[in-house]
């Protein structure tokens, strides 16, 4: 799912049931949203810890295996075609998380990974423009320029938490995430929880094949037999807390509140990711890294809040100026 760690949220927001008009969010619901985002953000640290004992593609295989089984025995298959389920499973499983786990296996720090993978927002916009004929507005170009500047700042400091190889892998992971978003959107799915559970079946074969070819049977056996209780707890956290609980709870919130009231909290994913990595793993936070985070998160904020601001009374663009 979604997410990435933080990567999981976008699919949840791709399609949701009709929502009631905004009447204010109860504090308990807001705390739930923040709790989900905290899980998605801190999940990058969990990934890094598990990779000390499990090869990355094996780890991803186990994650999606536990996400599919036994949930698939109790969750009805969504009313979408098998092709959509397969495409989503391959793009998110092998494309997004397979590449992300390889990158985080010594090529990029958890904090930077949680930040760079959010570029999926801009890849999603690009795909929507290319495949759906959607028009990209000036404020989206501004947000893209800010995020690109943030990524450029990371590139300029390659070696300070990210190698060019690791950065490239995470960007490709973000592209795969965007492709998965497009597949889910085109499928017309309304039950993203069931969609992810069933699509996970199609994530397993390419990840397992990749693990066999690139990591080897010996590494797989050693990883499964030698993993500590903590490593298995990390796998279960990925599957149950990050994927199944995160999706179910996020979908529950979106069914009860306007998306504009809930989804902005998702911008805190890299904040939790970088903060948790600094606190638990000692990842340094020099000025350039904080500056890159400010640019990327600022770009995301413009993309989210600009359309909301246009609806406010007296906003200049409401008088017909192009934006």
Tens digits of per-residue pLDDT, 180-223? 888 988 888 878 889 989 999 999 999 999 999 999 999 999 99
d(CA 87, CA 95): 10
Query: Is the CA virtual torsion 164, 293, 312, 255 positive or negative?
Result: positive
Residues facing 162 on adjacent strands? 108
Is the residue at 17 inside a domain? Answer: no
323 pLDDT higher than 60: no
Higher confidence at residue 212 or residue 300? 212
CA distances, 270 to each of 26, 39, 114, 193, 266 (Å): 25, 11, 5, 23, 9
If you average pLDDT over residues 124-141, what whole number do you get?
75
Residue 314 has a pLDDT of 57
Specify the DSSP class assigned to residue 6. G
Tokens at 73, concatenated: 């025995």
Give the angle 308-137-124 at the CA atoms, nearest 5°. Answer: 85
If you average pLDDT over residues 271-285, what whole number do you get?
91
Is the residue at 68 inside a domain? Answer: yes
Q: What is the three-class DSSP state of 17? A: coil
Domain count, the chain: 1
Q: How many CA atoms lie within 13 A of 228 on its CB side?
A: 7
Question: Sorting pLDDT into bands at 50, 70 and 90, what band is 3?
Answer: very low
60 pLDDT higher than 90: yes
Report the percentage of the chain scoring pLDDT > 90. 45
Residue 315 has a pLDDT of 56
Please name which of 19, 93, 16 lies closest in space to residue 248, comparing C-alpha atoms. 16
CB 46 within 8 A of CB 237: yes
If you average pLDDT over residues 249-266, what whole number do you get?
74
Residue 125 has a pLDDT of 77
If you average pLDDT over residues 39-65, what whole number do you get?
95
If you average pLDDT over residues 283-302, what whole number do you get?
88
248 pLDDT higher than 80: no
Query: Is the CA virtual torsion 234, 221, 207, 96 positive or negative?
Result: positive
Longest dimension (CA), the chain: 66
24 pLDDT higher than 50: yes
pTM score: 0.84
Is the residue at 111 inside a domain? Answer: yes
CB 3 within 8 A of CB 40: yes
Is the residue at 2 inside a domain? Answer: no
Is the residue at 105 inside a domain? Answer: yes
303-319 tens-digit pLDDT: 777 776 666 565 555 55
Residue range(s) defining the domain that contains residue 231: 26-312
Is the residue at 5 inside a domain? Answer: no
Is the residue at 131 inside a domain? Answer: yes
Question: Sorting pLDDT into bands at 50, 70 and 90, what band is 61?
Answer: very high
Q: For tokens 């998965």, what's the residue?
A: 180
Question: Sorting pLDDT into bands at 50, 70 and 90, what band is 16?
Answer: very low
Tokens at 45, concatenated: 């640290």
Is the residue at 15 inside a domain? Answer: no
Question: What rounded mean pLDDT belongs to the chain?
Answer: 84
18 pLDDT higher than 50: no
Which helix H or strand E contains 33, and what residues bound it? helix 27-50
Specify the DSSP class assigned to residue 96. I
């Amino acid at each position: 799912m979604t997410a990435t760690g933080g990567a999981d949220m976008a699919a949840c927001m791709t399609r949701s049931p009709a929502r009631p008009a905004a009447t204010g969010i109860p504090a308990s619901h807001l705390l739930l949203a923040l709790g989900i985002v905290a899980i998605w953000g801190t999940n990058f640290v969990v990934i890094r810890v598990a990779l000390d004992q499990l090869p990355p593609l094996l780890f991803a295989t186990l994650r999606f295996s536990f996400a599919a089984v036994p949930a698939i025995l109790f969750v009805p298959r969504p009313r979408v075609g098998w092709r959509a389920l397969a495409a989503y499973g391959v793009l998110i499983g092998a494309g997004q998380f397979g590449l992300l786990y390889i990158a985080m296996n010594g090529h990029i720090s958890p904090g930077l990974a949680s930040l760079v993978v959010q570029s999926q927002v801009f890849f999603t916009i690009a795909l929507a423009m290319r495949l759906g004929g959607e028009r990209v507005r000036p404020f989206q170009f501004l947000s893209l320029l800010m995020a690109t500047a943030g990524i450029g700042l990371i590139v300029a400091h390659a070696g300070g938490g990210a190698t060019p190889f690791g950065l490239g892998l995470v960007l490709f992971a973000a592209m795969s995430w965007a492709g998965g978003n497009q597949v889910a959107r085109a499928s017309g799915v309304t039950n993203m929880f069931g969609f992810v559970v069933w699509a996970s079946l199609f994530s397993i074969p390419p990840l397992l094949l990749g693990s066999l070819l690139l990591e080897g049977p010996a590494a797989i056996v050693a990883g499964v037999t030698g993993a500590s209780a903590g490593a298995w707890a990390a796998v279960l956290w990925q599957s149950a807390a990050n994927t199944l609980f995160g999706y179910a709870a996020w979908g529950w919130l979106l069914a009860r509140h306007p998306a504009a009231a809930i989804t902005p909290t998702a911008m805190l994913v890299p904040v939790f990711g970088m903060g948790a990595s600094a606190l638990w793993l000692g990842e340094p936070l020099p000025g350039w890294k904080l500056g890159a985070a400010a640019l990327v998160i600022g770009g995301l904020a413009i993309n989210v809040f600009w359309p909301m601001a246009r609806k406010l009374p007296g906003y200049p663009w409401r008088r017909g100026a192009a934006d």
